[in-house]
Structure 1
């Protein structure tokens, strides 16, 4: 058991455990770092989700208020239209009554030709 190959094999064998340990430590460190990054990203994503939910809630409330305001405006305008319609109907009835009254007068007291 002599020679360069045997000496190199012994050297590699003695360093194999230290290389395994170094690689294992590096993998463990990289795994911890990846886990920490993943956790930070999840927290950021969660924060973004919360912010988005707040903004959507705010927009929903704003659009709901606008919708209610628009409905109120439409209801007020409809009431005005209905009031005008009632006034027109009343006026038409009065005109019709006057017209009937005028016809009755003409029928009772015909105008001379």
Structure 2
């Protein structure tokens, strides 16, 4: 049996890794997009790379690209979660929340917003 007679091994994980990686990068600003899709792209990419190395399956580059994009989206999304959590837990944001609760008019709410901006910029 020559090498031409053997069927080429399949790598059905490469395309999903790439698609999930692209979607994760596009939607990294959401938890589902960045974290969930990023993790799935990373896992499928790693499995596709392993299959390509072990069995000689095609599309190793697509698997690598999907894993890299998934990792970038995951990192970006986790950074946004950390920054968002630190901002929401800050004293300045707590002051803004209290001010808005006590505000009766739009002018008072605008003043709360200006005060918050001044506190954050100082």
- The TM-score, its normalising length taken from structure 2, stands at 0.32
User: Higher relative contact order by CA 8 Å / sep ≥ 6: 1 or 2?
Assistant: 2
Looking at secondary structure, tell me which structure has more helix per residue. 1
Higher gyration radius (CA): 1
